[in-house]
Structure formats: structure tokens, C-alpha cells
Structure 1
Amino acid sequence: MGVVIYKCMNCGGPLAFKPESQNWTCDYCLSEFGEQEVRDFIHHEQTHAETSMTGEALQHKKEQDQEFQDKAMGYTCESCGAEIVTDDTTAATFCYYCHNPTIIQRRLEGDFRPEKVIPFQFNREQATAKFIKWCRRKPLLSKWFIADSQLEKLSGIYVPFWLFDCDIEGEISGEATRVRTYTRGDTRYTETKYFHVDRGGSAAFRDVPADGSRKLDDELMTILEPFDYKDLKDFTMAYLSGYLAEKYDMDQNDVYGRVSTIIRNHMSSLLQETIQGYNRVSIHHTHVKFHKVEATYVLLPVWMFTYHYKGKIYMFAMNGQTGKIAGRLPISWGRVGSWFGAVSAAVFTALIIGGQLLW
């Protein structure tokens, strides 16, 4: 039997049972509901989803789900616990996190089939060339970092993401001041006027992303954004052929807090931008209400490379659609000394030529 997760009817956030009131409350928008209200809402949503699909669409979905169950294979790393997903023709020979070569194959359990995917836009050779070009602009990087033996571990990974859509109503209120300075005779005056400001509005947010993996660095994934979601395709197992995928270990409820904070802050900023003509504005109250929150599970393409250097693991990632690069790279202290020596010598020579250094 599956676990029933109650969702807030106002903002889509997870509901928590409160023994003192015997009701369910949302920690994000502070709404409170009785059990029957929530069950009726869930029943309505499920019925609407089922009736909105034609018989042909339902059959197609069943076939896709069956294909995923038949062909999706799971691999578990005994060293770091990473769980990898790929098709039944792709061999996962090592873990792309820790490079442990002992990977245990098993039939994938549970329903982790994505709805959409952005396919890789360039192959491994092109990704390697982009990576080497990027590294050559880093003068303090160890030359062994781009050795062929290391670059063999460059892996194409489909990263699990949740894309959120929602409609927002927002209100802000606060205090604004307008300052005017003028002179009369020999006296200079400063006049300060105080105003109460209110702003309200609505907005639609689409495709707000949050990665669904605890092992991946959220900051690293954020730097790789944005992806162009116009390239999203309906998922089929064919896209996994030759690639790996991370199995999500955070569902939409786990990442909702992060996403709702981003949306709230952005909505507040949009409203504050409408307050013009004042010298100073202080916002004292913000209220944001969510409607029609929906999350779509998608896979996004990332070329990933991990590197062991002096007991530390460094992770490099490249957006498999746009080529944007991010990572924390190891510094070769030998090259640091050589580089700064060369820089110092060059500066020294320049100072002599320019007559700036006196003996």
C-alpha cells in the first residue's frame, strides 16, 4: 500500500498533522484543513486527472510505464550509496561520484519514471574538448587534471529535477520616505515626508527548477542553469541509451520549501520594484498565496567529472544543453609558485623599463 501524502489546497505544500487541533496545517502558508476536506480535494484531483485523459492517452501511458519497468536498470554503489538508473543495454562500470568500480546491478524498484527529458545536445568528444579548453584558461590547475586517464571518467548524466508551475497572489506593505533639502536665507532645511505604501498583484511562475538529488551540490546545479525548457521531450527509454541517470531521492515535497522560498522572494521583489519615487522604502509585511501548484519530474543533461586530488574529491559539471561550465578545481601549488614567479619577474622587468624601480 502506498503512502498518502496530503497537500495544501492553497499552496501545494505538504501538510502536517497537529494533534492539538486534530487538523492538518501547512507550514508554508499556515492554512488549516480537516481530514475530510483534504481527502475530498485529493479525490477531486485524481478524478480530474483521469477523466482529462482519453482512452488512447491512458493506453499510451500504460505502455510507457511498462517499458520503463521492463528496461530500466538500477545500479547501487557500495562505497558511497549513489543510485544510478540507465537502460538494460548500458553498463555502469563505475560510480561517477567516487569512481568505485564495484557497482551492483538490480532491477529498478518503485515508480521513478520521468515525464519529460531534455536530450544531450553534444557528444562526449565535444564535451571533452570544451572541458579542456576551459581548463587551459586556469593557470594554477594541475596539468594531470586533463590527462587522458582522468578524462575517461567524464560521464553523461541525466540529473533528476522537479519543475514547478504555480499562480501567485502577493501583497506587501511598509513605510516609505521622501527627503527634500532646500535653503532659505542662511538656513538649510531638510524636509522628510513619511508614506504608508501597499502593493498587490498576481503572477504566473513556470518551470521553476529544483534538483531532486541529495548527493548533488545544489549550488553547482544552480550555476549550470538556465536550461531552455522549450527542448523538453516526452520521456522514452531511448534517451537513456549510452547515458546514466541519477535516481531522485527527494520528491516534490522535499524540495518544495526551497522552491517556495525562491518564488516568494521573487514575487516580493517584483512588487517592490513598483514602488518608485522614494528615497527609502522599508517593507514590514509580505503575504504570498499559492494557487495551482504542479510539479513535473524531468531529467536534465549534465556532463559530470569527479577528480581525486590529495585526499579530496573535486566535482566539475557542464550543462549538456548549453555547454555552461561550473566546478571546484584543485590548485597545483607547484604551478602557483612558478606562475607567481613568472608574474613577479615580468612586473620587475616592467618597472625597470619604466624607470619605476631605483637601485
Structure 2
Amino acid sequence: MGVIVYKCINCGGPLAFKAESQNWTCDYCLSEFSEQEVSDFIVNEKAQAEAETSSAVLEEHHLKDQEFQEKAMGYTCQSCGAEIVTDDTTAATFCYYCHNPTIIPRRLEGEYRPEKVIPFKFNREKATELFVEWCKKKPLLSKQFTSTSELEKLSGIYVPFWLFDCHSDGKISGTATKVRTYTSGDTRYTETKYYRVLREGNAIFRDVPADGSKKMDDDLMSILEPYDYKDLTDFSMSYLSGYLAEKYDMDQNNVYGRVSGLIRDNMSSLLRESVRGYSTVNIEDSGIKMKNVGATYVLLPVWMFTYQFKGKTYMFAMNGQTGKIAGKLPISPGRAASWFSGVSAATFVALAIGGQFLW
């Protein structure tokens, strides 16, 4: 507990309680104050301190907004429409979706300033090394995929995400059975007992993610999870130096349906897993309610690499915090034919269909 020091209203010196007068006296200027005068002074001083603190917080937010508005630059790709964010010192040379070099800079509005960010944990050289090692384990890839000219297009991107918190109340009901088989004499019996099951519970969900980009593949972003949200820090434009970021084009309301479905599924699973000890369980009804829902706009680090092969664009992504890799990668017909030379034609056809997520 903090120590309270009563100060003289006139000179600021310490006050001492005098038992004989039941008042507070300053030994420096000899002023004397009643209990009410001291109490009123303390209340006013506390209110003033809180007002100054509140003013300082508002000023800090104002400076952050001003920094974002002055330094954040937006680039719109004229080919695919992707909107990229970076600082005013970074030169964007191509769109990481379609490789179009034509971009138009403009200032961004403060509403797009994120609240939090997880900074990149390793540089471009390390990301390239991890990517090449990963590709070596994919024997059907074209060798051109990891050529120096292609790897130069590897880009560090801060992807917009919404992190949701909420409280969830759930209830499920259904029927269950317990089956017992036993033998008596020469006869084998099966006994089935039927039960009515009911489960209710509540849970708190924290940091449920949903990317806020229409052009980002939601499945690809999901595969890159999880992130360690302990590394979330207050956003500053300095984190964008040397990197790009994508401006969200889906706000929290646009992605709420996706997050709501995920939370409801998880809540139902938690309740279902609590029904144990039965031979069979059939859930007939369930109800999940969500309340106290809140969302935080954050940027999460991703190393992105897109590759155009035979008229199609393939996307590779790496978690910029953990190094986890996923991608929709092209298959080289020549290498596939050689690799599957000893495999039946039917099996080859099944395995050579591209576009599968690999990780």
C-alpha cells in the first residue's frame, strides 16, 4: 500500500496532526487546517492529477494518430486492386499478389491505424533459407520455383487481423446408451440402457483470429496459426520500416460470422467432450449464446511469395513469428512423370492434381 503524505495547502510542507487542537499544523509556515480543509484539498489534488493523467493519455493517442496519418502511405494495385500500407520511406516495387509494378501512393486515414502488432522475428535471409529447405522436401516442384530471380519477390507483409474476445454460454441435450454383453448358460445376452443427457457450461474465449483481407486465402492464414499473442505490442510506424502491410477491407462486422461459427463449434465440442462413459451419444439439440464480444485490430507478420506458373498464381506463406510454412504450390509435369515412373497411371493422375495445400 502506498504511503499518504499530507501537504500544507499554503507551502507544500508536511502536515502533522496535533492532538491538542484536533487540527493539522505545518511546522514550516505554522498554518493550521481543519479536517474538512485537508480532506477537500486531497480530493481536489487527486482530481487534478487524474485530469492531468487523462490529458496525457489523450495527447499520446493524438500523437500516435498524427504519426500514422503523416507517415502511413497507401498503394493501390491497378491490376488486382490490392491495397498495401507502408511507411513513407519504403519504396514498393510490385504487388505481392500479382507482381504488377504500377502503384499509386496516397495518405491513409487514422481509422486504419492498428492497435497492436506482433513484430517480425526473423529477417528475409532467414525466411528464404527456411523456404528453400521446405521446398527441397517437395519433389514435384519446378526447379524454377526456388530460382534466385523468383526468391527476390519474397516479401514481408503485415496482414490485418481481428482478434475477438467473448464470453459464451452453451447447452446441449440428447440421448445416450450403455451397451453390455454377457453370457448366461448357453445364451449370450445384450443389454442396452438408454439415458437422457444434458450439459450446460460457459467459457471465455480470447484472441480468436480472423484475417481482415478479402484477397488473402482464409484457409492459408488458418494453417499459419497459431501465433503467440504474448508478443503483441502497441503499434508504432517504426515496425513498418522495411516491410509492407495490407489495409483491412473487412471490418469486425464483416468477419464476425466466421468467428462466431468457430466459437460456437468449439463451445459445442467442449460440451460434447464432457459426455463420457457411454457406448453411443446422439446430440439432438444445442444452443450457444455469445456476449461481451470485443474485437482488436492487429497486424500479424507473414512472409509472402507468389509464383505464376502456366497461367495460374500460386501462393506461399510463412508465419513471420514461428516460421510455420504453408502454400498452394505448382507441380512440374516433367518432374512428376519422372518421380512417378514406377507408379500406375491411375495413381499418378490422382496425385498430380495440383492446388493442394502443403505444409
TM-score with structure 1 setting the length: 0.79
Tell me the SS of whatever aligns to 2:112: coil
Q: Which residue of 1 aligns with 2:127?
A: 127
1:296-311 equivalences under 5 Å are 296-311=296-311
Q: Which residue of 2 aligns with 1:261?
A: 261
Q: Which residue of 1 aligns with 2:199?
A: 199
C-alpha deviation, 1:170, in angstroms: 1.0
C-alpha deviation, 1:343, in angstroms: 8.4
Distance in 1 between the 2:143 and 2:249 partners?
36
Q: Which residue of 2 aligns with 1:87?
A: 87
Q: Which residue of 2 aligns with 1:246?
A: 246
C-alpha deviation, 1:274, in angstroms: 1.1
Distance in 2 between the 1:188 and 1:281 partners?
24
Q: Which residue of 2 aligns with 1:60?
A: 60
Q: Which residue of 2 aligns with 1:73?
A: 73
1:157-306 equivalences under 5 Å are 157-306=157-306
> What are structure 1's unaligned runs of at least 5 residues?
1-50, 345-359
Q: Which residue of 2 aligns with 1:347?
A: none
C-alpha deviation, 1:110, in angstroms: 5.7
C-alpha deviation, 1:135, in angstroms: 0.8
C-alpha deviation, 1:226, in angstroms: 0.4
Alignment identity in percent? 72
> What are structure 2's unaligned runs of at least 5 residues?
1-50, 345-359
Q: Deviations over 1:298-347 (max 9, x none)?
A: 00000000000010000000000000000011111111122234889xxx
Q: Deviations over 1:23-61 (max 9, x none)?
A: xxxxxxxxxxxxxxxxxxxxxxxxxxxx9x832222211
C-alpha deviation, 1:289, in angstroms: 1.5
C-alpha deviation, 1:291, in angstroms: 1.9
Q: Which residue of 2 aligns with 1:315?
A: 315
Q: Deviations over 1:233-257 (max 9, x none)?
A: 1000000011000110110011111
2:138 is aligned with what amino acid?
K
Equivalent pair of 2:161/2:300 in contact (CA under 8 Å): yes
Distance in 1 between the 2:340 and 2:281 partners?
47
Distance in 2 between the 1:109 and 1:66 partners?
10
Q: CA RMSD in A?
A: 1.5
Q: Which residue of 2 aligns with 1:154?
A: 154
Distance in 2 between the 1:244 and 1:94 partners?
11
Q: How many residues align?
A: 293
Equivalent pair of 2:127/2:303 in contact (CA under 8 Å): yes
Distance in 2 between the 1:342 and 1:180 partners?
50
2:163 is aligned with what amino acid?
L
**Larger relative contact order, structure 1 or 2 (CA cutoff 8 Å, min sep 6):** 1
Tell me the SS of whatever aligns to 2:92: coil
2:250 is aligned with what amino acid?
M
Q: Which has the larger radius of gyration?
A: 2
C-alpha deviation, 1:180, in angstroms: 1.2
1:21-36 equivalences under 5 Å are none
Distance in 2 between the 1:266 and 1:337 partners?
43
Distance in 1 between the 2:294 and 2:114 partners?
15
Distance in 1 between the 2:287 and 2:55 partners?
42
